[in-house]
Structure 1
């Protein structure tokens, strides 16, 4: 793609997920797209519309896009990353969600910052994980896969989506804390009762249990945190503190899980048999996206895939 094409957005498809980031006040990027990328095709997902269908239709056109862009949160970015890999296209990821863990890890804090990298042809090769449940087709994971307390919390929150993200989250936390039970995992023939398992793409902060944001760009390993069920429910949910500051406060007051209760592994792949207690959901989460499975449990396999995706990012991205 030549510099003139990059400067006006010709050959770029941008999909907007209007439902992303509704819990925060965020400027509408439409004017920025119109001013800086006037030749880009910008599509907004309608209710019930799937990004895969939109991209498939675009790829069948005579002027198929050379670059796939997404404005949304981690779930939307993860889905578009999967399609970028499928269609062998670079990804332009722009922060439009509540947390934006993936783009922040690449040093992209704003829409303008992402467009700057695109116009400069500044890219980075990113490692991902592929997660497969019960032999289904693998999904692309950019940050983390989790089973246990966090997916159950997300499942409760989705039930209460009509209350709004923050109120619904507070109610979901109270309900999940009251009903929480450990689940059983089987790994390499060994059975364990655990509160949660987090499988991060690449090596992550050794002090965290809930490794929600990746710390490396290209990587060939998974960083696994297994929280064994030897502590209280309160500690189980305290382990979901995502920030260093909140984790430090919880450690100071004795609520954070003990180091002896956390098993840490760095491996190229991981396979688990997941068995929730009766009456508890059979679910896992990847990049904030909830995946429902049949009751009774499932087998989850995660594999690190280095240099799997080309993403526009500032020079010096880790």
Structure 2
């Protein structure tokens, strides 16, 4: 027998084998459907038709997504959005492409008992199940961002798929194909737009310093701004007088030079204390570092970011640290060799961005609030052109943090530590084509960290030249002078601070 004849016979045999296998699968599919159709369960008869009706037009998934969005949790909101986008994409492909490509008759309205029949029996192709595809797409989309919630939604999606067989709308094979299609489209979407990755920065160990206990506040000279924090400074003064009677308290007047008063206090203090806002605390940190004295921070401002970072959110906690003599080494940052900052610095409209974001985040969550804030501030002509590392770019949003902040993106919340020796620099580039729209899309999808418009650097020093007009620098709640150069340096564990 020639090789050509053998090839034809082999090809015919393969086609016949495949055909028989497919016929067997179809028969098994119908047998399983018949077994389900003949089963009697009054409880399922009452529940599953209602469930399958709730999933019509993806109403069930849209409702769940809405509830998730109202939680205000950014991760859950991203999960809801990814789930809805996955449903929309899957529904389009399943109904407009797959059902038109593969035609299959449905089991028929009379294939199940009247008690479980749906009111409006679908007339489109049975293969694949659009309900099942949308259910799998939503569940897997949610699971990409929030696996725990995705598992719960996945169980509900499985019930929706079973309801399509139970009510006679689909064969089991249609449901399985729908599940596979929905999961596949979500997987492709996760490759195109991966979920954000939060770096683990929690491995830095604290540097504890031995210091003498000061049960009466011996050697402490505390500089207080009574007017800070809407009168909080006055309350701090009274609490310290009562708890640390040996401490010397210096009250700032409205015309006093804060830095001169701090330098004078440091010259005779064993411990320099400060009660004021973050800007005043940063000034005291610079003086304490220069004098080689430990700093005791009493929360006396409006936000007290640094005090909270070192676990001194209340006056009582700082008092306890002074009495016990618990001291830790932390980082400080200097700007242009002179100004000391402890938390953050920015140029452009970042302070305005934060103001708008905080206005809305209580109602919409941080993700949506960040989108609103970005859309509003990026409409304004306020870009600053800078040059760093041989690169030139325009930015309206420039953020710099003392130590690494989390999460990534333009909604940093907190730091795991303040002693890692690094600067956290984040810049959002503007002036490029469709930059505002691209930024909003990246924020909505949680993919800002992978956008070419977003630059995030972690390094001990950052220097740049302002190519446009000199610009003001905001730092620790204060607004500094206009400058043409920025030279930020992180100083590793140079400041001793009292903390519980």
Q: TM-score, normalised by structure 2?
A: 0.48
Larger strand percent: 1
Whether 1:8 aligns to 2:216 is: yes
Specify the SS of the correspondent of 1:43. strand
1:181–1:232 distance in 2 versus 1, CA, 3 Å: farther
Per the TM alignment, residue 227 of structure 1 is displaced from its structure 2 partner at its CA by 0.9
1:214–1:284 distance in 2 versus 1, CA, 3 Å: farther
Partner of 1:265: 457
- 2:220–2:247: 8 Å Cα contact kept in structure 1? yes
Per the TM alignment, residue 207 of structure 1 is displaced from its structure 2 partner at its CA by 2.7
Per the TM alignment, residue 300 of structure 1 is displaced from its structure 2 partner at its CA by 0.3
- 2:427–2:456: 8 Å Cα contact kept in structure 1? yes
Per the TM alignment, residue 257 of structure 1 is displaced from its structure 2 partner at its CA by 6.2
Q: Could you report, residue by residue, the CA deviation over 1:72-126 in whole angstroms, capped at 9, with x for unpaired residues? A: 1111110100000011100000111111111111111100111101111111100
1:74–1:58 distance in 2 versus 1, CA, 3 Å: closer
Runs of at least 5 residues in structure 2 that lack an aligned partner in the other structure: 1-210, 355-375
Whether 1:191 aligns to 2:392 is: yes
Q: Which runs of structure 1 show a deviation greater than 3 angstroms over 4 or more consecutive aligned residues?
A: 24-27, 151-154, 175-180, 210-215, 230-236, 254-259
Aligned ranges 1:56-135 → 2 under 5 Å: 56-59=263-266, 64-132=268-336
Tell which has more relative contact order, 1 or 2 (C-alpha 8 A, sep 6+).
1
Whether 1:31 aligns to 2:220 is: no
Q: Could you report, residue by residue, the CA deviation over 1:35-59 in whole angstroms, capped at 9, with x for unpaired residues? A: 1111211122111312221133335
Aligned to 2:252, which of 33, 39, 45?
A: 45
What is the alpha-carbon distance in structure 2 between the residues aligned to residue 180 and residue 76 of structure 1?
32
Aligned to 1:141, which of 341, 349, 359?
A: 341
Aligned ranges 1:222-261 → 2 under 5 Å: 222-229=423-430, 230=432, 251=443, 259-260=450-451, 261=453
Runs of at least 5 residues in structure 1 that lack an aligned partner in the other structure: 155-174, 239-249
Q: TM-score, normalised by structure 1?
A: 0.74
Aligned to 2:262, which of 55, 75, 78?
A: 55
What is the alpha-carbon distance in structure 2 between the residues aligned to residue 202 and residue 94 of structure 1?
22
Whether 1:285 aligns to 2:482 is: no
Per the TM alignment, residue 27 of structure 1 is displaced from its structure 2 partner at its CA by 7.5
- 1:234–1:255: 8 Å Cα contact kept in structure 2? no
Cα RMSD, aligned residues only: 3.1
1:311–1:108 distance in 2 versus 1, CA, 3 Å: same
1:211–1:284 distance in 2 versus 1, CA, 3 Å: farther
- 1:143–1:214: 8 Å Cα contact kept in structure 2? no
Per the TM alignment, residue 19 of structure 1 is displaced from its structure 2 partner at its CA by 3.6
- 2:296–2:318: 8 Å Cα contact kept in structure 1? yes
Specify the SS of the correspondent of 1:28. helix
What is the alpha-carbon distance in structure 2 between the residues aligned to residue 227 and residue 200 of structure 1?
15
Per the TM alignment, residue 213 of structure 1 is displaced from its structure 2 partner at its CA by 4.8
